[in-house]
Structure 1
């Protein structure tokens, strides 16, 4: 790994953890000057220094060495299309994108932002779908007559179609390099 990429990674991780150079030096058991040299690209950490930095930053040494944010629209499209897991089971529309988000959020540009938006939307969608099921079921169970059974089928189809249409639209936006939007969504991940 080049010095410039490694020094940026160490600084990025330090700032993300909310540490000053002094705090990182203390936590890693290194001198302040060593941290400054690493972040300025004057030296590369090896062996014990790299291990100490990784422990202090609560990452693996590989996360420091191999890290590099890349632009990869195919990963963004895969992340977006992975939501179609909801067709088999609604929770899969959350779990599959969540797994991709966790694995790629620090490695591919925009995965963190888009992944959070997808997960927020899918959680919101599942909650609204289950509230719809509960409302319809209560109406049928207690013979309240609010909703005829055909309304249940139409409502479920509408929920699923809306989700599918939103996924397709946002996949096309990603392909074109445009910003995606998932609405409505409650904020669960910031």
Structure 2
């Protein structure tokens, strides 16, 4: 719910009005009141003035509240983006470190495969409502950047040799596959 819709809803409830009563007193369509409170519409101009008059809310305070909410939304987006970049970097670095060095033994490579299954498994556990494509874009983008970097530095043939011999391609395929199809492992409750 946006800041204005929430404030209108909370004030209406605290004053004991139903949506129907607010619509009747403010001469605003009931459907408009419902859409405002359900975050489908944002009231402006005359509609906002009519509702504010009935609820005895200062229109300027509502607009300031909405601006503050928008600033918080932008800050949250930036923080989320930085967090996702750092998380992708940490995952790719960990799996790459376990598979790419020449001295990486079979235990390290099997550990990387296990991490390539369990990390996305836990990501799915905490993001079950997220669509599979969105999950892959958010949490698998680091591997796309990693592949591009590997191929650009080593060349296509050199990158493929390194990728297949070090098991990094297997880890990436498993990681992305579990991110995309892993939701079938969880029983959905209705």
Q: TM-score, normalised by structure 1?
A: 0.31
- Bigger radius of gyration: 2
Q: TM-score, normalised by structure 2?
A: 0.31
Q: Which has the higher contact order (CA 8 A, sep 6+)?
A: 2
Q: Structure 1 or 2: larger helix share?
A: 2
